Structure 1
Amino acid sequence: MPKVSSNTKQLTEAKSPIDMTRTMAPEVPGFQEYVIEGLGKIAALPELSDIAQRHRFHGTTHDKAVAAQWLGRRLGGTPNLSRLLLTGGTQNILMILFSRLVPKGSVIAAEKLTYAAIGQLAMLAGASVLPVDIDGDGMRADALEETCRSHKVAAVYTNPTGHNPTTSIMSAERRQSIVEVARRHGVAIIEDDVHGFITKHAPAPIATMAPELTWYMMTMSKCLGIGLRAAYLVAPNAEKLAQLLGSIPSVSAWFVPGLSAALITNLIETGAADQIVRRISVEIGARQEIAQEILGPLGVMHTNSSSLHVWLDLPHAWTIEKFVDAAAEQGVTLRHPNVFAIPGTEIKSNIRLSLVAPATHADLRGGLFRIAGLLQSRM
């Protein structure tokens, strides 16, 4: 077992507290300059007042055309603009989809560990969520089959690429098995591809295997910046999207902010978005190397080389509550992992550590050394 060196001791005395809770796109060189340049071009447009003072609804035709080309890299082809919306963020999309796709008496199936907001968004939409068992390859197709047989499932929500919180990347074979279950039971698929652009060698989205069933989502929060408050939705077809829009034409809560839409379109058109994504991938890789150096030898870490976080197995001597409290005493802020658990699921021996919440590599090292010390103390 690695010993805590004097160099480690100095790092553990770094500035506190060190936040290891939230995951977001890390700050990278050049990002601010790209944004300043893009905003300067937007400020010089004759239609600036309209951009700032009028609804942009779900993006202009130009916004959608630029987005379609960009998303086409993940979708294996450019989606028709009649299927695509630029919206006010993933949560806006999910609340609308949950409320419109899940009739009264039906349920949403989701990985038993999942994005923390799923339960809250379903509650706001008047829907309920059922947990589906997972393994190292993500959602289990046999477990989804059983859930669909036993309950009136209207939709399945899944985060197959860089799963939150376990970091698993669902194989192409498993994706196809999930599709087969959904087709058999006539279930809509809501695919959250939040990490798609930053994940190296990511399998093709489920949407490429079952476009007729899949509502595909891609947010800007991990590949550009969470503050842009924007995400794309690609519907199964134009008719289904028209039905969705027709039922809630005046609900502006999910419209995209005009300035965000204009900036995102500019960043994609100029190639800046690609540069930012590449630099984010490099930064994530560097932080993953630090995690492997410090936590890897302990044999308790689950991750992938493109993940914004790691998923730890705690030694049996630690309860989650005591570990979170002990970390806080060491100046490291952690989130209780039960926020990722669908009701009916309990997490007893895992914790998620964000690698991108610490502002600097030095802060990250300091936080990880403190965590390593706590883990070693009970091994």
Structure 2
Amino acid sequence: MTLNPKQKQADNTSASSGSLWHPTKLDNKLPPYLSLVQALSTDIESGRLRPGDRLPPHRDLARDLGLSIGTVSKAYREAQSRGYLSSHVGQGTFAIGKAAPKPPLARNADFINLGLNQPPRHSQLETLQRAMQETLNSPYLEELFAYHQHQGRPEHREVIAGWMARQSFKPSPDQLIICNGAQHAIDIAIRLSTKPGQSVATDALTYFGFKAVADVNNIGLTGIAMDAQGMLPEALDEACGAYDIHCVYLMPTLQTPTARTMSEARRRAIAKVAERHRLMIIEDNVYGFFAETAPISFAELLPDQTIYIESFSKCLLPAFRVGMAVIPPALMDRAILFLHATSWMSSSFLVEAASRMIKSGALQDVIAASRTEARARYKIFQEELSGHVREELPNPSPGNHVWLNLGEDWTSASFYFAAHSNGILVSPPDSVNATLAPLGVRLCLGGVDRHEDLRLSLRKLRSIMETPSSSIVSFV
């Protein structure tokens, strides 16, 4: 946002000198209220805005910046919740200095947790609180707690299908099922695509949650070789000729654990193999929201052979268990039967809150903030460990996890135990490989609240990597 000359003159003066505070710069890449929060926190941290300084009234700052009063009020509330501001009725809003420091490792008293892929905290909780309060005040609240169609209420499916639509992928609400999280959707997808005793092709390094679902359904996994973009189409083609494979599980955007993203050419090549061998595709796109320009999906390329999955928990908070799957018409009746058998229905209360966030634009604001935070954390990762990351390609749309290649001196198991002995949790090495031993570890950058704690933990890992493994592991 460009500030006018009058604003710039005011901004060159400390708020303590008599003039009220105005931001020097607003980040256009953030939602307006979050860019204002960022400007407030920056000026408080730098000392430009000092304890006791009075902030402009909401209306005045909104007029000066060309924002709505609601946007400024929202920014003030968010800054207050982070400990930067104090508001007193009849007196105004005041800076209270730097936010009270959180104890290191606030989410785990004993360890820095880089093993659990959870979103870093920013504005999600406040957004959820607002949406849930609006839902509680709804005149239709009693209906939300009643029985409804197994696949979800029609009005909710219409809103969510519209939100999922992109390019030529425009799912019909009638093909959409709402589940209790993406893990529930994966369970239904694997039941629709395979039978006990059959095999599913996965990346050689795959999502451990999918391994768990396959295991309880007595489904075997066939690991397919990967490169920097993920699964190799020629390797999938060869495996289909050698094994009884009926389905392929793919996470084409920010694959976990490796954080690799397929190009459009790679997706089209994989789709040709799947079409030739009549494979069902389970497309897990729970991290797709990080990409500002949505890549083409397998559901667009092979709609009759693809079960497409998304979720809200990765962009909001883990306990917001609302997932959704787009089902090919031929499988819809069985999908509804599996919904009936596994959970009866999803929570209409949570789905109503999600629908409200979609319609108000609040969910898109959270996603924009998540992208900005992910880029900031990925930059820290690059600064601290890029020299030790082999074959890792910079990602223009990073997510909350990265893959750390360890080289020849370390095994994944020895590095895991060395990190553990230094107070850092990384993803256990036996939880990510389908059939091959991993040559690295996944690091989840969102589980540490403060950037400085993240940086220190990555420096610890760098120090471990620079020490011969034999001299460390012998003491573990």
Provide TM-score, normalisation by structure 1.
0.89
Shift, 1:99, TM fit:
2.1
Q: Which amino acid aligns with 2:125?
A: Q
Aligned-partner SS, 1:86: strand
Query: Aligned residue for 1:272?
Result: 362
Q: Shift in Å at residue 250 of structure 1?
A: 2.9
Partner in structure 2 of residue 103 of structure 1? 195
Deviations 1:231-258 (A, max 9, x none): 1101123x3212432x436314273222
Matches within 5 A, 1:4-19: 17-19=111-113
Q: Alignment partner for residue 368 of structure 1, among 458, 464, 470?
A: 458
Shift of 1:24: 2.1
Match of residue 241 from structure 1: 332
Corresponding residue number in structure 2 for 1:66: 159
Alignment partner of 1:50 out of 124, 143, 154: 143
Q: Give, as a single letter, the amino acid of the residue that structure 2 aligns with 1:177.
A: A
Q: Say if 1:299 and 1:182 are closer, same or farther in 2 by CA, change over 3 A.
A: closer
In structure 1, the partner of 2:380 is 290
> 2: CA distance between counterparts of 1:320 and 1:104?
31
Q: CA deviation at 1:187?
A: 1.0
Q: Using a 3 Å threshold, how does the CA distance of structure 1 residues 57 and 228 change in structure 2: closer, same or farther?
A: farther
Query: 2 CA distance for matches of 1:258 and 1:212?
Result: 28
- State whether residues 158 and 192 of structure 1, in contact with CA within 8 Å, keep that contact through their aligned partners in structure 2: yes
Q: TM-score, normalised by structure 2?
A: 0.72
Contact 1:57 1:252 in 2 (8 A): no
Structure 1 residues 103 and 334: CA distance shift in structure 2, 3 A: closer
1:127 to 205, 219, 233: 219
1:28 and 2:122 matched: yes
State the 1:46 CA deviation.
2.3
State whether structure 2 residue 320 is matched by structure 1 residue 228: yes
CA, structure 1 residues 270+258, in 2 after alignment: closer, same or farther (shift >3 Å)? same
Match of 2:251 in 1: 159
* Equivalent pair of 2:287/2:314 in contact (CA under 8 Å): yes
Contact 2:374-2:399 within 8 A present in 1 as well = yes
Q: Which structure 2 residues correspond to residues 93-242 of structure 1 after superposition, within 5 A?
A: 93-237=185-329, 239-242=330-333
Alpha-carbon distance in structure 2 between the residues aligned to 1:232 and 1:72: 13
AA of the residue aligned to 1:26:
P
Distance 1:28 1:218 in 2: 21
Between the aligned residues of both structures, percent identity stands at 27
Label 1:65 to 1:217 Cα distance change in 2 as closer, same or farther (>3 A): same
Unmatched segments (≥5 aa) in structure 2: 1-102, 470-476
Instruction: Output the CA distance in 2 between the equivalents of 1:365 and 1:278.
Output: 23
Name whichever of 274-283 and 50-59 sits farther off.
50-59
**What letter matches 1:151 in structure 2?**
Y
Query: How far off its partner does 1:47 sit?
Result: 2.4
Q: Which is worse superposed, 278-287 or 352-361? A: 352-361
> For 1:243 and 1:59, how far apart are their aligned partners in 2?
15
Q: Distance in 2 between matches of 1:252 and 1:53?
A: 18
CA distance in 2 between counterparts of 1:163 and 1:242 reads 30
C-alpha separation between the residues in 2 aligned to 1:202 and 1:378? Answer: 42
Specify the code of the residue in structure 2 equivalent to 1:214.
T
Tell me what 1:329 maps to: 421
Q: Whole-Å Cα distance in 2 between the matches of residues 332 and 117 of structure 1?
A: 22
Alpha-carbon distance, 1:325 to partner: 2.1
Q: Residue by residue, what CA displacement relative to the aligned partner does 1:182-238 show, whole Å, maximum 9, x if unpaired?
A: 11111111100111111244421111111121110011122222211111101123x
C-alpha spacing 1:301/1:263, structure 2 compared with 1 (3 Å): farther
Alpha-carbon deviations, 1:332-357, whole Å to 9, x = none?
11222221111x3212x311111111
Structure 1: distance between partners of 2:339 and 2:386: 51
Kindly state the Cα deviation for residue 372 of structure 1 after the two structures are TM-superposed: 1.1
Would the aligned equivalents of 2:249 and 2:284 in 1 still touch at CA under 8 Å? yes
Post-superposition CA distance 1:308-367 (Å, at most 9, x none):
11211214222333322221222211222221111x3212x3111111111211221121
Separation (CA, whole Å) in 2 of partners of 1:301 and 1:35: 39
Equivalent position of 2:402 in the other structure: 310
**Higher alpha-carbon deviation: 190-199 or 221-230:** 221-230
Aligned-pair CA distance for 1:151 = 2.0
Which secondary structure does the structure 2 equivalent of 1:113 belong to?
A: coil
Of 126, 130, 133, which aligns to 1:37? 130
Amino acid at match of 1:346: A
Which deviates further from its counterpart, 106-115 or 279-288? 106-115
- Report deviation, 1:130: 1.3
1:107-165 CA distances to partner (integer Å, 9 max, x unpaired)?
21111111111222012123222111111121111111111112222211111111111
**Distance in 2, Cα, partners of 1:200 & 1:92:** 26
**Distance in 2 (alpha carbons) for counterparts of 1:121 and 1:295:** 33
Checking the alignment, whether the CA contact within 8 Å between 2:306 and 2:328 is kept in structure 1 is: yes
Cα distance change, pair 18–249 in 1 and its aligned pair in 2 (3 A): closer
Which of 1 and 2 has higher RCO (CA within 8 Å, sep 6+)? 1
State the superposition RMSD in angstroms.
2.1
> Equivalent residue for 1:86?
178
What is the rounded CA distance, in whole Å, between the counterparts of 1:204 and 1:47 in structure 2?
38
Q: Is the 8 A contact 2:401 2:443 kept in 1?
A: yes
Asked whether the equivalents of residues 56 and 256 of structure 1 are also in contact (C-alpha less than 8 Å), the reply is no
